[in-house]
Amino acid sequence: MGEPLSQVLLRSKRHILTIENGLLVLLLTGIILLATLQIALRNVWDMGLSWADPTLRVAVLWVTLLGAMAATRDDNHIQIDLLTRFLSESLKKYVRLVTDLFSAFICGLLSWHGGRFVYFEWEDGSILFASVPAWVCELIIPLGFGVMALRFLVTGLLRIRPQRAT
Amino acid sequence: MILTGLLLIFLALLGAPLFVIIAASALLGFYRSEVDLSVVTIEFYRIAEMPILLAIPLFAFAGYLLSESQAPQRLVRVTRALLGWLPGGLAIVSLVACAMFTAFTGASGVTIVALGALLYPALTQAGYRQNFGLGLVTTSGSLGLLFAPALPLILYAVIAQQLGIANGITVDDMFLAGVLPGLLMLAMLSGWSIWSSRNQPLSTFSWQEVRAALREAAWELPLPVVVLGGVYSGFFAISEAAAVTAFYVLVVEVLLHREIALKDLPKIMREAMVLVGGILVILGMSLASTSYLIDAEVPAYLFEKVRSLVTDKITFLILLNLFLLILGTMLDIFSALVLMVPLLLPIALGYGIDPVHLGIIFLANMQIGYFTPPVGMNLFIASYRFNKPILQLYRATLPWFLILLLAVIIITYWPALSLTLVGR
């Protein structure tokens, strides 16, 4: 019934991309404006927003993970990649499958242990600043690495998909 | 232990992302010491506890925005109007413009693509030999790394601070320390340019052109003054200077010059943040792996090993130069910093090398690593961008390489050059 699964997947992929990019742009714009406002307040009126500095620091963490997620999507992480230059195309595919699966496994582990970290903080009810609970700010760690794990897994598997005749 | 280490290095050479490799080594280390693995993410979370890191996305964005605008053209025009009348003028213009541009954009090959594409044809047109021009633009792609507010200077100070052994090193120290060594490199390369173009006809100096060029660049000119003046005078903290830069560049290029359409901003922001995410995710993972290394007393062990082989400081420095030169051809500057500084700094301290001086040695070495044959990254970027065979680039960059190698040697064995301004 309804649309085929592949269509649903494609559409949700598009939505996720929009949300990710939107969040990244929004965060960076927010950082620029808030940091500039803070300087203006400090130098011109000799005051400051007490929540601005911790917010900016958490925003850097979010930008880091959202940026790394985007880098995973673009296949644009910092890497050495000295050997694959000398491999044939077909061999390269399988080598990249191995590195992608390995990356997916490690990101999966990071996501899982990040999740446990967030859970501990939630149980403790620790507060980061004002009344913002720490776990909300840390949530991006398991989320980010989880998304990266999935991306590595999917790109890895797509590499060895049999080429469809056109 | 050694076997898994080798396996990880092999995976890195096959192109697994470096942050994954570093994360894997940290996870493995803590697993072996029976420490709860959530420690890795707790260490990673320290990214949100270092106020200085705010400077990185802000400077990176400003740099990307500048390179997408017409600012490079204006920068070249101003320097050309001011310095073009000198013998070797255009070459010196290129060096100065590239150094300033790289300081703001970081040495990520952006300089070759944005400025080299502009300068190389101009140099050939002005009658410089093709190889001279090629060598110059390729070399200049990493020139300026030692000038504030280059990201590698910031990153080195952050990493050194994390180790807690570098007697209160600050980003400001690094910004000051880089000035004289950077100027030395610039002066030596300018000297070579003047010498090689001694037969070139001189162009004339025109006040009219100076005025016109200055007027055209009127909005960007205050930028280096405000940022560098603000930072060096202590008026701005580094991250404040970064915020001002990002905000100012945004207003100037998007609202005043209108060279970047509002609708293109998200794309540029995303591109800059891909770079930032790539750097900071590596930094975050290295916080975990470094804390494991320190727990396991690896730096102390390495120091003992090195100590038993190398007894004096000079031999150590020679080996350090060689090692960093090779490292620089294989690793980009950010991962090299993150991976190697935690291991090298304790050893270097043991030989009585100042941490600030080590930082300058490290970055100066990395800078020439960018175009050290056979695999320096900028050689490939230039070969691709100017459509020239890689072998021609090896030849073209050789004199430049030798000059900068000499500069690196001077920087290494004359610590005062780096340390005088810092007052250490």
Cβ separation of B41 and A141 shorter than 8 Å?
yes
Cβ separation of B14 and A29 shorter than 8 Å?
no
| Residue B27 in contact with partner chain A when CB distance is under 8 A | yes
- 3 state SS of B14: coil
- The DSSP secondary-structure symbol of B291 reads H
| Residue A55 in contact with partner chain B when CB distance is under 8 A | no
In chain B, the residue whose alpha carbon lies closest to the alpha carbon of A92 is B14
CA B147 to chain centre: 9
Task: Provide mean pLDDT across the span B112-122.
Answer: 80
Taking the alpha carbons at both ends of chain B, their separation in whole angstroms is 40
Suggest the residue from A105, A110, A137 to mutate for an interface test with chain B (most B CBs closer than 10 A): A110
**pLDDT for A85-114, tens place per residue?**
778 888 888 888 999 999 999 999 999 999
In chain B, the residue whose alpha carbon lies closest to the alpha carbon of A61 is B48
Task: Provide mean pLDDT across the span B120-128.
Answer: 82
Q: What is the pTM of this model?
A: 0.86
Statement: residue B418 has pLDDT above 60? yes
Residue predicted with more confidence, B119 or A163 = B119
How much is the pLDDT for A164?
57
pLDDT band at A160 (very low <50, low <70, confident <90, very high): confident
- 3 state SS of B216: helix
- 3 state SS of B166: coil
Q: Which residues in chain B are closer than 8 Å to A29, comparing Cβ atoms?
A: 269
B20, A102 contact by CB (below 8 A): yes
Suggest the residue from B28, B47, B333 to mutate for an interface test with chain A (most A CBs closer than 10 A): B47
Statement: residue B302 has pLDDT above 80? yes
Cα–Cα distance, B19 to B338 (Å, whole number): 10
Q: Which residues neighbour B14 within 8 Å (Cβ) at sequence distance 6 or greater?
A: A81, A83, A84, A95, A98, A99
Cβ separation of B277 and A69 shorter than 8 Å?
yes
Task: Provide mean pLDDT across the span A123-131.
Answer: 79
| Residue A58 in contact with partner chain B when CB distance is under 8 A | yes
Give me the residue from A68, A76, A80 closest to B12, CB to CB: A80
Rg (CA), chain A: 20
Provide φ and ψ at B196, rounded to 5°. Answer: -75, -15
Q: How many CB pairs under 8 A join A and B?
A: 187
**pLDDT for B175-184, tens place per residue?**
999 999 999 9
In chain B, the percentage of residues whose pLDDT exceeds 90 is 29
pLDDT band at A166 (very low <50, low <70, confident <90, very high): very low
**pLDDT for A55-84, tens place per residue?**
999 999 999 999 999 999 888 888 776 777
| Residue B53 in contact with partner chain A when CB distance is under 8 A | yes
Q: Look up the ipTM and state it.
A: 0.90
Statement: residue B24 has pLDDT above 80? yes
Cβ separation of A60 and B47 shorter than 8 Å?
yes
Cα–Cα distance, B264 to A27 (Å, whole number): 17
Provide φ and ψ at A162, rounded to 5°. Answer: -60, 135
Statement: residue A130 has pLDDT above 80? no
Cα–Cα distance, B124 to B141 (Å, whole number): 18
How much is the pLDDT for B362?
95
Cβ separation of A60 and B54 shorter than 8 Å?
yes
What DSSP letter does each residue of chain A carry, written as one string? --S-HHHHHHHHHHHHHHHHHHHHHHHHHHHHHHHHHHHHIIIIIS---TTHHHHHHHHHHHHHHHHHHHHHHHT-------SGGGS-HHHHHHHHHHHHHHHHHHHHHHHHHHHHHHHHHHHHT-EEETTEEHHHHHTHHHHHHHHHHHHHHHHHHHHTSPPPP-
- The DSSP secondary-structure symbol of B414 reads -
Instruction: Count CA atoms within 13 Å of residue B312 on its CB side.
Output: 3
B332, B151 contact by CB (below 8 A): no
How much is the pLDDT for B363?
94
- Poorest-confidence range of A25-39, A107-121, B191-205? B191-205
Give chain A's largest Cα–Cα span. Answer: 68
Statement: residue A144 has pLDDT above 70? yes
Statement: residue A2 has pLDDT above 70? no
Tell me the pLDDT of chain B averaged across its residues. Answer: 87
pLDDT band at A165 (very low <50, low <70, confident <90, very high): very low
Task: Give how far Cα B151 sits from Cα of B7, B154, B230, B250, Å.
Answer: 31, 5, 17, 19
Q: Which residues in chain A are closer than 8 Å to B334, comparing Cβ atoms?
A: 78
In 3D space, the residue among B65, B19, B6, B12 whose CA is nearest the CA of residue B289 turns out to be B19
Cβ separation of B18 and A78 shorter than 8 Å?
yes
| Residue B113 in contact with partner chain A when CB distance is under 8 A | no
Cα–Cα distance, B337 to B341 (Å, whole number): 5
The CA distance from A3 to the nearest CA of chain B, in Å, is: 32
Task: Provide mean pLDDT across the span A46-52.
Answer: 83
Statement: residue B44 has pLDDT above 60? yes
How much is the pLDDT for B51?
86
What the block records as the tokens of B124 is 């050939």
How much is the pLDDT for B250?
92
Cβ separation of B278 and A138 shorter than 8 Å?
no
Cα–Cα distance, B94 to B132 (Å, whole number): 12
What the block records as the tokens of B415 is 């610590």
Which position has the token pair 């294989």? B330
Cα–Cα distance, B216 to B221 (Å, whole number): 10
How much is the pLDDT for B107?
59
